[in-house]
Amino acid sequence: MQNQVSEIKTDQGMTAAEYSKYSVVTWDNENQLMRIFSIGDYNEQIAREQSNDILTKVAQHSQGKKINTLTDLSKAGKATPGAQMVFIDLIRNEIFEKQAFIGMTGLTKTFFSLILLIAKPGNIKLFDTEAEALKWLKE
């Protein structure tokens, strides 16, 4: 996994391995949204660290307004039950206008759909492609 992670570049030119072991969180000026790229497996501590990182960066860019996010889970691994609860709390946060998720297949997509049933947010959708997600986020 470390080799795959080190090849991912952020918009600041850093590799994901230099930026964070578990995620890359950047502001997309062109589309006016937060991009989140999750990497690897998550336990509760790692999930809390990522959640705090996301909320800190969102607060820096939100200027008191709700914002949209695009999260790529194509390199994400497994999440412990504790981590799952942290992520449910995160996606329920009122600071998000719309949240689009891409990069899920098979069991991951099914599992994530179950999390959405528990969280019950109306502002989240799963997409097969980034283009579809961006179109919905701009509506």
Whether the pLDDT of residue 8 is over 90: the answer is no
Could you give the CA distance from residue 39 to residue 4 in angstroms, rounded to a whole number?
Answer: 9
Report yes or no: 39 and 5 within 8 Å, Cβ to Cβ: yes
Could you give the CA distance from residue 122 to residue 39 in angstroms, rounded to a whole number?
Answer: 25
Question: Tell me, what CATH number does 89's domain have?
Answer: 3.30.750.24
Whether the pLDDT of residue 9 is over 50: the answer is no
Note the pLDDT tens digit of each residue in 82-102.
998 998 899 888 899 999 999
Measured over the CA atoms of residue 107, residue 110, residue 112 and residue 115, the dihedral's sign is: negative
40 burial type by CB count under 10 A (0-12 exposed, 13-18 middle, 19+ buried): middle
Could you give the CA distance from residue 123 to residue 13 in angstroms, rounded to a whole number?
Answer: 31
Q: Which domain holds residue 120?
A: 2-138
Phi, psi (5° rounding) for residue 101? -125, 135
- C-alpha gyration radius of the chain: 14
82 burial type by CB count under 10 A (0-12 exposed, 13-18 middle, 19+ buried): middle
Note the pLDDT tens digit of each residue in 22-72.
788 888 999 999 999 988 888 899 899 889 989 998 888 888 899 999 999
Domain total of the chain: 1
